[in-house]
Chain A
Amino acid sequence: MTDERLFHPSDDLPFGEVLWRDADKATRTGLLSLAEHYSRVDGFFALTIVPRYSVVDPAGLYEELGGMFLQVRSRRSDQQKGLTVLRLAHVQRRLEGSVAICPGRFDGVWLVMTDMKRSSDDYRHLVEPVLQLMASRAPGAWLSTADTQEVLYELEERLHLKLTPGRVISSNRERSSIEYMKKRRSLADVFGELRERELVLRSLDFTAFGKGSRLVLAAGIDRWMRLKYRGGSRALLDDHLVSAVEAKLRQHVRRLDVPREDALSGRPIVFRFSRAVLTDRSRNRELVDTLATLPNVSVCAFHLNPYLHVALVDYADGSNMDIFADDPVTLSVIPGKRCSVAAISRAFNAVYAHFASGQIAAVENVEIGS
Chain B
Amino acid sequence: MSRKSTDNFSRNQVADAFSNYDQSVEIVCCWHSWFADVDGAVFDHYPCVDIGGVDCTPDFLVSFDEGYRLVGELCRLSMEHKGFKSSVEQAIGYSNLSPETDVMLLVPHDYADQAEKRMLDEGLLRTEADSEPVVVLSFVRTDANRVTQWVFKRPTQFRKVSFRDQFVGELSLHRKMTVTLEGLKVPPKYWRDMKIRFPLCNDQPPALYIACVLWEKVFSAMLTDDDYVRYRIEKLRHLPLHVTPQTVREACEEQLGVKVKTGWIRDALELLEEARLAERPNKTKEEFDIKFGKVLVPGSTHNELHLLILDRLFGNGEPEPGADSAPQQETLFSGPPSSE
User: Are B294 and A296 closer than 8 Å at their CB atoms?
Assistant: yes
User: Are B188 and A307 closer than 8 Å at their CB atoms?
Assistant: yes
* Residue B187 is within 8 A (CB to CB) of chain A in the complex: yes
Q: Which residues 231-270 of B sit at the A interface, judged by CB distance below 8 A?
A: 231-233, 239, 254-256
Query: Which of A298, A299, A305, A334 makes the CB contact (< 8 A) with B193?
Result: A334
User: Are A298 and B294 closer than 8 Å at their CB atoms?
Assistant: yes
In the complex, what distance in Å separates the CA atom of A324 from the CA atom of B188? 10
Q: Which residues 188-244 of B sit at the A interface, judged by CB distance below 8 A?
A: 188-189, 192-193, 195-197, 212-213, 215-217, 219-221, 223, 225, 227-229, 231-233, 239
In the complex, what distance in Å separates the CA atom of A316 from the CA atom of B236? 12
Interface of B is mostly: helix
User: Are B148 and A306 closer than 8 Å at their CB atoms?
Assistant: yes
User: Are A318 and B196 closer than 8 Å at their CB atoms?
Assistant: no
In the complex, what distance in Å separates the CA atom of A264 from the CA atom of B192? 9
User: Are A313 and B216 closer than 8 Å at their CB atoms?
Assistant: yes
In the complex, what distance in Å separates the CA atom of A302 from the CA atom of B20? 11
Query: Which of B148, B193, B196, B292 makes the CB contact (< 8 A) with A326?
Result: B148
User: Are B305 and A336 closer than 8 Å at their CB atoms?
Assistant: no
Determine the chain B residues whose CB is within 8 A of the CB of A316 once the complex forms.
228, 232
Of A293, A316, A318, A369, most buried by chain B (CB within 10 Å of CB) is A318
Q: Which residues 103-160 of B sit at the A interface, judged by CB distance below 8 A?
A: 143, 146-148
In the complex, what distance in Å separates the CA atom of A243 from the CA atom of B208? 50
Query: Which of B192, B233, B292, B304 makes the CB contact (< 8 A) with A292?
Result: B304
CB distance from B240 to the nearest CB of A (A): 12
User: Are A313 and B233 closer than 8 Å at their CB atoms?
Assistant: no
User: Are A288 and B216 closer than 8 Å at their CB atoms?
Assistant: no
Determine the chain B residues whose CB is within 8 A of the CB of A296 once the complex forms.
294
Determine the chain B residues whose CB is within 8 A of the CB of A313 once the complex forms.
215-217, 219-220
User: Are B193 and A302 closer than 8 Å at their CB atoms?
Assistant: no
Query: Which of A68, A315, A326, A337 makes the CB contact (< 8 A) with B228?
Result: A315
* Residue B326 is within 8 A (CB to CB) of chain A in the complex: yes
User: Are A65 and B229 closer than 8 Å at their CB atoms?
Assistant: yes
Determine the chain B residues whose CB is within 8 A of the CB of A322 once the complex forms.
196
* Residue B306 is within 8 A (CB to CB) of chain A in the complex: yes
Determine the chain B residues whose CB is within 8 A of the CB of A300 once the complex forms.
212, 215-216, 304-306
List, sorted by A's number, 25 A–B pairs whose CB atoms are closer than 8 Å.
A68-B233, A136-B225, A264-B196, A265-B193, A288-B304, A298-B295, A299-B216, A299-B303, A300-B216, A303-B22, A307-B188, A311-B217, A313-B215, A313-B216, A315-B292, A315-B294, A317-B225, A324-B196, A326-B148, A332-B192, A334-B196, A336-B221, A337-B221, A337-B255, A338-B220
Beyond the given pairs A68-B229, A326-B192, 13 more chain A to chain B contacts, judged by CB atoms under 8 angstroms and listed by A's residue number, are A69-B233, A136-B225, A264-B193, A266-B193, A299-B303, A299-B304, A302-B22, A302-B212, A311-B216, A311-B217, A315-B293, A315-B294, A326-B189
